[in-house]
């Protein structure tokens, strides 16, 4: 049963006399409906929070998850900022040692991509932990304030962006639009992966959306070579 409410609802479960609280699945994808699932009970938020809880909340929300409008889009913008920092640092490292090591452009590009893969894997692993903890703290399935999944997905979508500024600007815009599209539409297997447990499900569907967007961006870059 689907509802379009932004809060936890009480429904009567079959065969149960009392009203039970069930999980309301939220999402930071603005056009995704919330779905009430009667097969999982909401974990009640813990009363006392420790330092790890606050760290998890900071990572999961990236400081923008509490914004009232379009938290997913804000999360994608944070992903762009993180990507720019990682790519700029990676290029500085490899271009800096290129002359000493006799690196050509292929060496540099390969090295940059490897560092970006390491970075996005780190974001995904930390994001799974932070999203899982935030879900328990909020007592809601996939709370809308969690945007670290958008950060990881948007990062992946931007990875095929070329070094050349002439091509980079339009491919970056395309990567942003495509990721937001695929994050909302959730093509196979994103929708299925979304049902995975806790933070893993929160992160997985956005990673798939990022991969889809990255493939289309890479294809667009190759096509542009012949135009």
Tens of pLDDT, residues 184-226: 999 999 999 988 888 999 999 999 999 999 999 999 999 999 9
Q: Indicate the pLDDT class of residue 26, thresholds 50, 70 and 90.
A: low
**CB-based contact 117:172 (threshold 8 Å):** no
Spell out the residues 6+ positions from residue 102 whose beta carbon is closer than 8 angstroms to its own.
none
Residue 141 DSSP symbol: B
Give the residue among 209, 166, 213 at the shortest CA–CA distance from 186.
209
Chain position carrying tokens 């893969």: 117
* 100: in domain: yes
* 13: in domain: no
Q: In 68-158, where does DSSP find H-type helix?
A: 71-101, 105-138, 148-158
**CB-based contact 209:190 (threshold 8 Å):** yes
* 33: in domain: no
Q: Find the helix packing angle between 71-101 and 165-185, rounded to 10°.
A: 140
Question: 16: how many CB neighbours lie within 10 A of its CB?
Answer: 10
Output the average pLDDT for the chain: 84
* 3: in domain: no
* 107: in domain: yes
Q: What is the pLDDT of residues 48-85, one digit of tens each?
A: 788 999 999 999 999 999 998 889 999 999 999 999 99
Q: How many domains does the chain have?
A: 1
* 206: in domain: yes
* 38: in domain: no
Residue 68's domain spans which residues?
46-225
Q: List the end-to-end C-alpha distance of the chain, in Å, as a whole number.
A: 49
User: What local confidence, expressed as pLDDT, does residue 133 receive?
Assistant: 95
* 8: in domain: no
Question: Measured between alpha carbons, how far is 134 from 141 in angstroms, rounded to an integer?
Answer: 10
């Amino acid at each position: 049963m689907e509802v379009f409410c932004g809060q936890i609802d009480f429904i009567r479960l079959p065969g149960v006399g009392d009203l039970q609280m069930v999980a309301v699945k939220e999402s930071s994808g603005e056009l995704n409906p919330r779905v009430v699932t009667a097969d999982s009970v909401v974990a009640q938020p813990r009363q006392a929070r420790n330092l790890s809880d606050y760290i998890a909340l900071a990572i999961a929300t990236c400081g923008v998850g509490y914004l009232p409008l379009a938290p997913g889009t804000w999360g994608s913008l944070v992903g762009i900022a993180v990507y720019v920092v990682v790519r700029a640092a990676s290029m500085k490292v490899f271009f800096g040692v290129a002359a000493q090591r006799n690196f050509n452009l292929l060496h540099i590009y390969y090295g940059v991509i490897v560092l970006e893969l390491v970075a996005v894997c780190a974001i995904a692993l930390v994001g799974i932990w932070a999203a899982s903890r935030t879900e328990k703290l909020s007592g809601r399935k996939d709370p809308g304030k969690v945007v670290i999944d958008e950060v990881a997905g948007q990062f992946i979508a931007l990875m095929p962006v070329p070094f050349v500024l002439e091509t980079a600007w339009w491919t970056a815009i395309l990567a942003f639009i495509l990721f937001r599209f695929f994050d909302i539409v959730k093509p196979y297997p994103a929708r299925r992966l979304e049902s995975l447990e806790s933070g893993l499900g929160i992160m997985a569907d956005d990673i798939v959306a990022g991969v889809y967007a990255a493939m289309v961006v890479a294809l667009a870059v190759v096509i542009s070579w012949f135009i």
